[in-house]
Amino acid sequence: MPAVEWFLVACAAHARVMQRERGMPMVQVAAFSHPQSRLKASELSDDRAGREYADRGHGGMAYEPRTDPVHKEHQRFARELADYLDEGARASAYGSLVVFAGNPFLGDLREALSDGTRRLLRTSLPVDLSHVGPAEIERRVEDELAST
């Protein structure tokens, strides 16, 4: 096990980065909040769907955005978290990373990580621990890692 290990505990709206040094208890080093991820699509979108009208005949066609606005916010938050993790990796702030996040947000996070950060990724698990306290996170992390 490396001397310093980081744990990202996240959901699409909140995240915490916990750090554990060898032989020491886990401590929180950063916290993030992205309230836009909790908004409804109608609250995120500033216009209606685009329309195309036929040259002849009646009616037209409405076009939906290619990416759901809520998913776009999830991706934006995943990118913010990945940037923080990438910065820590470049600064050698940690030697190993474990990610806990619920699906589908875990996929957005994995996709956003740089190659350098991916090399430090020990494992990523589809478990949402964002709602529990630090002591419970430490206990659950141990349980989850023991079962992998």
pTM of the predicted protein model: 0.78
Helix axes 69-90, 105-112, angle to 10 degrees: 40
Instruction: Tell me if 36 sits within 8 A of 126, measured CB to CB.
Output: no
Q: What is the pLDDT of residues 45-92, one digit of tens each?
A: 455 555 555 556 555 555 555 667 778 889 999 999 999 999 999 999
Helices and strands of the chain, counted as H and E runs: 5, 7
The domain spans of the chain are 4-146
Q: What is the pLDDT of residue 34?
A: 79
Would you tell me which CATH number, out of the four given (3.40.50.11540, 2.60.40.1240, 3.40.50.150, 3.30.420.60), belongs to the domain 4-146?
3.30.420.60
Tally Cβ neighbours within 10 Å of residue 8: 24
Residue, of 132 and 55, whose pLDDT is higher: 132
**Which of 11-25, 97-111, 131-145 bottoms out in mean pLDDT, i.e. has the lowest?**
131-145
Average pLDDT, the chain: 84
99-111 as b/e: b if 16+ CB within 10 A: bbbeeebbebbee
